[in-house]
């Protein structure tokens, strides 16, 4: 996606998540969220930590909380551990303070992304929780997180869902791009194989993607498996919010070619690192 458009979507999604937070009934902050073991307040604590780190690395500064976590854990950094630690260190803060911290960090991230020179947009890599990541993918990953957790907050606080085309599309895109990583986490490897994904409706798009790291299928290669259906359903599967079998059963997602391979892709796909 062209840089200006992606940064525009980043700004729009930051504003939309801010509205979701603004419209949350204060009595619902300590209620359980759809994220197992987390309250609605915990979701914002998680986002405050992640977006503070994202803004810092985007500005070529050390991610202070990543370093603090490493110091407390023998030099190691892993996603689930950091998430729980970041929520814990904010346990005594007021909800207002956590919300304000998130808003400042998210706004700074937007500003720093917009200020990046054109010549580094496609080449600069920054440290992140599972290793270095290109800045354009860091921007995309924050859009994905803001949309997924924004929908979590809306569900957890009694607000109506509010899916939008671009965050849904970018969640689908991130899930497809991360397939070699996601399959590798499950101990699966499919060198030389590829999948065709064709999605319709809000978030629509089409991808032909290799299933092994650093492999791109030739233009004339026939995909080994294909997945078709509604983009919103695919995004919720990639976001690990709805089990793939739910949409396979009701027909919102359909598989073909090597059906076992396609089903394995849907069961292991993820649009974020773990």
Q: What is the CATH number of the domain that holds 141?
A: 1.20.120.450
In this structure, is residue 153 part of a structural domain?
A: no
- Find out whether 107 and 86 touch, Cβ atoms under 8 Å: no
In this structure, is residue 113 part of a structural domain?
A: yes
Q: Which domain CATH number covers 230?
A: 3.30.1050.10
Its domain, for residue 251, covers 170-268
Does one domain contain both 113 and 246? no
Does one domain contain both 102 and 208? no
Does one domain contain both 22 and 113? yes
Pairing mode of beta strands 225-230, 253-257: antiparallel
In this structure, is residue 156 part of a structural domain?
A: no
Does one domain contain both 252 and 176? yes
Does one domain contain both 143 and 105? yes
C-alpha count within 13 angstroms, C-beta hemisphere, residue 25:
9
pLDDT tens, per residue, the chain with 274 residues: 899 999 999 999 999 999 999 999 999 999 999 999 999 999 999 999 999 999 999 999 999 999 999 999 999 999 999 999 999 999 999 999 999 999 999 999 999 999 999 989 989 999 999 889 999 999 999 999 999 999 999 999 999 999 999 999 999 999 999 999 999 999 999 999 999 999 999 999 999 999 999 999 999 999 999 999 999 999 999 999 999 999 999 999 999 999 999 999 999 999 998 6
Does one domain contain both 242 and 129? no
Does one domain contain both 112 and 194? no
How many helices (H) and strands (E) the chain has is answered by: 12, 6
- 86's CB contacts (< 8 A; 6+ apart) are 45, 46, 48, 49, 50, 65, 69
Prediction pTM value: 0.96
**Number of domains composing the chain:** 2
Does one domain contain both 121 and 204? no
Neighbours of 153 (CB within 10 A): 25
- Domain end, chosen from 84, 113, 148, is at 148
Residue bearing tokens 């974020």? 272
Does one domain contain both 110 and 243? no
- Domain end, chosen from 117, 148, 179, is at 148
Does one domain contain both 25 and 89? yes
Does one domain contain both 96 and 176? no
In this structure, is residue 159 part of a structural domain?
A: no
Sheet bearing 253-257, strands edge to edge = 205-210, 194-200, 225-230, 253-257
Does one domain contain both 113 and 79? yes
Instruction: Characterize 212-227 residue by residue with b for buried, 16 or more Cβ atoms within 10 angstroms of its Cβ, and e for exposed.
Output: beeeebeeeeebbbbb
């Amino acid at each position: 996606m062209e840089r200006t458009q992606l940064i525009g979507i980043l700004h729009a999604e930051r504003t939309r998540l801010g509205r979701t937070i603004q419209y949350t009934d204060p009595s619902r902050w300590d209620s359980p969220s759809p994220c197992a073991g987390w309250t609605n307040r915990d979701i914002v604590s998680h986002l405050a930590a992640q977006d503070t780190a994202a803004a810092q690395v985007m500005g070529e500064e050390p991610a202070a909380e990543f370093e603090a976590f490493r110091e407390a854990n023998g030099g190691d950094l892993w996603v689930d551990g950091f998430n729980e630690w970041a929520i814990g260190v904010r346990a005594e803060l007021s909800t207002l303070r956590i919300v304000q911290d998130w808003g400042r960090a998210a706004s700074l991230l937007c500003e720093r992304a917009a200020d990046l020179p054109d010549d580094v947009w496609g080449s600069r890599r920054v440290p992140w929780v599972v290793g270095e990541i290109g800045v354009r993918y860091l921007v995309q990953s924050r859009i994905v997180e803001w949309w997924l957790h924004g929908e979590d907050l809306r569900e957890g606080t009694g607000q109506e869902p509010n899916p939008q085309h671009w965050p849904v599309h970018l969640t689908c895109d991130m899930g497809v791009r991360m397939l070699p990583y996601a399959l590798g986490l499950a101990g699966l490897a499919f060198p030389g194989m590829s999948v065709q994904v064709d999605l319709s409706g809000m978030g629509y798009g089409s991808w032909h993607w290799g299933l092994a790291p650093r492999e791109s299928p030739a233009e004339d290669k026939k995909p080994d498996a294909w997945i078709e259906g509604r983009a919103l359903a695919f995004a919720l599967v990639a976001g690990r919010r709805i089990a793939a079998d739910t949409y396979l059963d009701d027909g919102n997602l359909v598989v073909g070619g090597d059906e076992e391979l396609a089903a394995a892709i849907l069961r292991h796909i993820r649009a974020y690192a773990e």
